[in-house]
Amino acid sequence: MLWLVIAAVSFALIVLLHTIFSGISPKTLIAETGLADTTKVTSAVASSIPMNFDVPKSFQAKTIKDATVPGAEKVIALTFDDGPWPQTTEQILDTLKKENVKATFYMVGQPLKSFPEIGKKVLADGHMIANHTLHHWYKKMSPLVAQREIEDTAKIIKEVLGVETAYFRPPGGVLTNGLVAYAHKQNQSVNMWSVDSGDSRPKRPSPEAMVKTILAEATPGGIVLMHDGGGSHDNTAKAVPEIIAQLRARGYKFVTMTELLEMASATPETPTAKALPSSAIN
């Protein structure tokens, strides 16, 4: 008899929590799931609560440009910088949703504050959120300014999206202007890239050129750099469907940075990024 009481109380608590977070009435929830099938209820509760993006311990305070995955499994991470941005971000999201691909978006604080609804759509579609500073500065910064660039963006991400992230990418790939030093002190994962699409250059490459570059440089455990914000990136939006199709044809599966590092944390080797010139544009 006691176990029935415990089960009833537990189920009531689950129903209450789900009601709070999802807005679905207890009556509807019980009618749809039934008392006996509580696994569906707990799963629904978990999916309704925003998750934080934590870094595996072996990659905390590390800078990486790619990752070694078990058995050289053919996985690759698509990443997008400088958004959220009108039109481009939404076009890319539409393609990712259609193709059932999850990506990682390195958001700049200012556009996230300006276009919060687009940022919310990125998260709602199941993509990973990462920090790309407040102003996207390349210049040398004092420890206090570097701290503010990262922490103010983290605050905006928390206020707008309700999540926290320990993944960071320095603008321009600059490793020596104070930002990376601060991120490492916070045990964050600093994420560079192994494949540069070239879409941030003043003369944007054509969609066909982007596809060709990415296919030529793709490797298992790689990180692909693209942009959805910081200006017009129509060519990037146009290239994404073919990038996905061609990589899939070569046997690749797509993962977020969290998934990539979780896979890589099972291997003893922790790769580190090669220093990029301060003139690198991102």
Cα separation, 192 vs 169, whole angstroms: 6
Mean pLDDT of 253-282: 71
pLDDT score of 142 more than 90: yes
pLDDT score of 1 more than 50: no
My answer on whether omega of the bond before 84 falls inside 30° of 0, hence cis, is: yes
**Residue reference for tokens 């870094």:** 55
Q: Which residue has the higher pLDDT, 266 or 253?
A: 253
pLDDT score of 252 more than 60: yes
- Per cent of the chain over pLDDT 70 is 76
- Angle between helix 2-22 and helix 38-48 axes, rounded to 10 deg: 30
Write down the pLDDT at residue 144: 98
Question: Nearest-CA neighbor of 270 among 63, 53, 55?
Answer: 63
Cα separation, 230 vs 206, whole angstroms: 18
Tell me the pTM.
0.80
Write down the pLDDT at residue 268: 63
Mean pLDDT of 146-163: 98
Band of residue 71 on the pLDDT scale cut at 50, 70, 90: confident
CA 181, 218, 264: angle at the middle one, nearest 5? 55
Cα-flanking dihedrals φ and ψ of residue 53, to 5°? -105, 95
Cα separation, 267 vs 68, whole angstroms: 7
What's the DSSP call for residue 82?
S
Q: Name the strand (E) or helix (H) holding 79.
A: strand 75-81
DSSP per-residue letters across 145-164: HHHHHHHHHHHHHHHHHS--
Tokens matching residue 40? 């569906």
Cα separation, 223 vs 257, whole angstroms: 8
List, for residues 191-219, the tens digit of each pLDDT value. 999 999 999 998 999 999 999 999 999 99
Write down the pLDDT at residue 14: 41
Q: Assign 68 to helix, strand or coil.
A: coil
Q: Which residue has the higher pLDDT, 38 or 151?
A: 151
List, for residues 10-21, the tens digit of each pLDDT value. 434 443 444 434
Write down the pLDDT at residue 266: 83
DSSP per-residue letters across 231-277: S--HHHHHHHHHHHHHHHHTT-EE--HHHHHHHHTTSS----PPPPP
Band of residue 33 on the pLDDT scale cut at 50, 70, 90: very low
Q: Which residues are catalytic?
A: 81, 227
Mean pLDDT of 150-161: 98
Q: Please answer whether residues 127 and 83 qualify as being in contact, where contact means their C-beta atoms are separated by less than 8 angstroms.
A: no
Band of residue 178 on the pLDDT scale cut at 50, 70, 90: very high
SS3 readout for 180-232: HHHHHHCCCEEECCCEECCCCCCCCCCHHHHHHHHHHHCCCCEEEEEECCCCC
- Distance from first CA to last CA of the chain, Å, rounded? 64
Q: Please answer whether residues 247 and 76 qualify as being in contact, where contact means their C-beta atoms are separated by less than 8 angstroms.
A: yes
pLDDT score of 233 more than 50: yes
108-130 burial code (b ≥16 CB/10 A, e <16): bbbbbbebeebbebbbeeebbbb
Window from 15-29, 75-89, 178-192, 226-240 with minimum mean pLDDT: 15-29
Window from 68-82, 106-120, 149-163 with minimum mean pLDDT: 68-82
Mean pLDDT of 112-128: 98
